[in-house]
Chain A
């Protein structure tokens, strides 16, 4: 039957994968992938959003093309694309973790640039013109005018995007990264009579993480209500 010892061992495998003996895995890997791609995508997305609201068509059109292209493509295909593309460019093989991190970063950059763009457009053009007339540079306008006002209204959106990104990292299971879904499959293959336990624990781990993050995002949203301007 399901003795406690092996159940705890299974949970440990799902939490960190074969960590002390091998590379990091399990839900810790999901989290690190999500955090890395969120951070890279944040800065990349900021620049893309600024490019997209630019008045020069030479800058805004390529940014628009990039965002629409990424948003129309499934994450899985982006992952495969970089999986084949990066070794061709660098001329040597890279780890699948690296290619997965790059592709999810690009994916999240496109989505976060849309969040940024929506928030920037909610600020009236008059403020930017006023800032220009007081002699601020473009860089200073972004740092001191646009971001401080928008970061508060964007925060709940970013948290909910992080949740969906965390769920999307499960796709990397298909290229063979030992993350949470993969650990569930491995456990169920090693001990076939515990199929249900393995899958149910994976589901519960996902549920617990995502549920509490979404509760948290609702809490922030309520807190940020008073900062909203119209």
Chain B
């Protein structure tokens, strides 16, 4: 129930709004001594941006995880129970290894989405690339050039991430696709 509320709350309110909330409102809600420490801390804007992105991302990742776990047929768990595996062993050997394979591509999509969302940290004056482009633009009035350069940075970063994700997926997951019934070795007859 709490998890449901958390997921709905963080998925239905924009990340930017959460960032502003953690930057402006959150210190006010805490008791006076803590809030004054936070307000005087120089890098609190960075913390607020990280909190905003991380907490809203957590809601999306939770949904991805849930769908990944639900994709595993119940009969497998029942078979594991009938084999006498404990609850920990069921998760360790049956459910999680398959779930990781299922959720890996959507998780990487989320990762790239997060990378793009970091540009929103401009709103809480974090000194990141979009903020820097604005600084340069206000000094030189060369808006298009600066913005295009920042865009290229993002495109290159995203391309690197996507390539890495593809390599990891190919190396770790694709070749070990479970093919039930095939890998089972024939019983050896040499000692008979």
Seen from chain A, the residues whose Cβ lies within 8 Å of a Cβ on chain B are: 69, 72-77, 80-81, 83-85, 88, 167-168, 170-171, 173-174, 181, 184-185, 188, 195-196, 199, 202-203, 206-207, 210-211, 214
Contacts and interface: CB of A to CB of B under 8 A. Distances in A.
B158 interface: yes
Contact of B28 (A76, A81, A173, A195): A195
Contact of A211 (B12, B28, B118, B134): B12
A84 B143 contact: yes
B29 interface: yes
A81 B148 contact: yes
Residue of A84, A181, A184, A210 with most partner-chain B CB within 10 A: A84
Contacts of B117: 74
17 contacts: A72-B112, A72-B116, A72-B158, A72-B159, A73-B116, A74-B118, A77-B133, A84-B147, A167-B14, A184-B17, A195-B28, A199-B21, A202-B17, A203-B17, A207-B12, A207-B13, A210-B12
B7 to A, nearest CB: 11
B144 interface: yes
B175 to A, nearest CB: 26
A-B CB proximity, top 4 nearest: A84-B143, A210-B12, A74-B119, A74-B116
A73 B20 contact: no
Contacts of A88: 144
A167 B21 CA distance: 15
Given A76-B122, A77-B154, 19 more contacts: A69-B151, A69-B155, A74-B119, A77-B119, A77-B130, A77-B133, A80-B134, A84-B143, A84-B147, A85-B144, A88-B144, A167-B13, A174-B123, A184-B17, A188-B24, A199-B20, A203-B13, A206-B12, A207-B13
A3 B119 CA distance: 38
Contacts of A199: 17, 20-21, 24-25
B123 A173 contact: yes
Contact of A81 (B13, B24, B151): B151
A171 B144 contact: no
Contacts of A84: 137, 143-144, 147
Interface of B: 8-9, 11-14, 16-17, 20-21, 24-25, 28-29, 112, 116-120, 122-123, 130, 133-134, 137, 143-144, 147-148, 150-151, 154-155, 158-159
A80 B147 contact: yes
Contacts of A196: 25, 28-29
Contacts of A170: 14, 16-17
Nearest to A80: B147
Contacts of A81: 144, 147-148, 151
Given A74-B130, A76-B130, A181 B16 contact: yes
A207 B158 contact: no
B17 A206 contact: yes
B12 A171 contact: no
Nearest to B117: A74
Contacts of B24: 188, 195, 199
Given A76-B119, A207-B9, A173 B151 contact: no
Contacts of B12: 167, 206-207, 210-211, 214
A203 B120 contact: no
Given A173-B16, A195-B28, A72 B155 contact: yes
